[in-house]
């Protein structure tokens, strides 16, 4: 019997963490844990779409949201170590850093 679309669960996709990024990844997890019950949330968890949008101009709007993030330093260190190549991490658009062109129509199109 096939489940209706509304009852299917999406597979959990986890990208492998490069060995050299394991320590920064643990530091990032510790930074999240240190947030504890402060009631704060990281901006990319409350409104993630802009952080991973195909359009550079949209990602650029997300970059300043990292400024007040309590895990900014650890996030950037992890992204550097892992060589993250897409999206905004630690207050930087990693796609732009890699010279990646926007995937969709430009704002001026």
Residues near ligand SF4, by CB under 6 A: 42-44, 51, 65-66, 69, 71-72, 75, 88-91
Biggest CA–CA distance in the chain, Å, is: 49
Q: Minimum distance between the CB of residue 48 and ligand SF4, rounded to whole angstroms?
A: 8
**CA gap 16, 4 in Å, rounded:** 31
Q: Minimum distance between the CB of residue 95 and ligand SF4, rounded to whole angstroms?
A: 13
* CB closer to ligand SF4, 89 vs 95: 89
**CA gap 65, 43 in Å, rounded:** 6
* CB closer to ligand SF4, 21 vs 89: 89
Q: Minimum distance between the CB of residue 40 and ligand SF4, rounded to whole angstroms?
A: 11
């Amino acid at each position: 019997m096939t489940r209706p679309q509304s009852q299917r669960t999406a597979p959990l996709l986890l990208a492998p963490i490069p060995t050299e990024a394991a320590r920064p990844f643990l530091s990032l997890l510790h930074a999240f844990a240190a947030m504890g019950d402060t009631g704060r949330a990281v901006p990319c968890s409350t409104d993630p779409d802009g952080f991973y949008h195909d359009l550079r101009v949209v990602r650029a709007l997300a970059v300043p949201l990292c400024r007040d993030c309590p895990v900014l330093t650890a996030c950037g260190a992890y992204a550097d170590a892992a060589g993250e190549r897409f999206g905004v991490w630690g207050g930087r658009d990693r796609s732009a850093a890699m010279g990646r062109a926007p995937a969709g129509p430009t704002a001026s199109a």
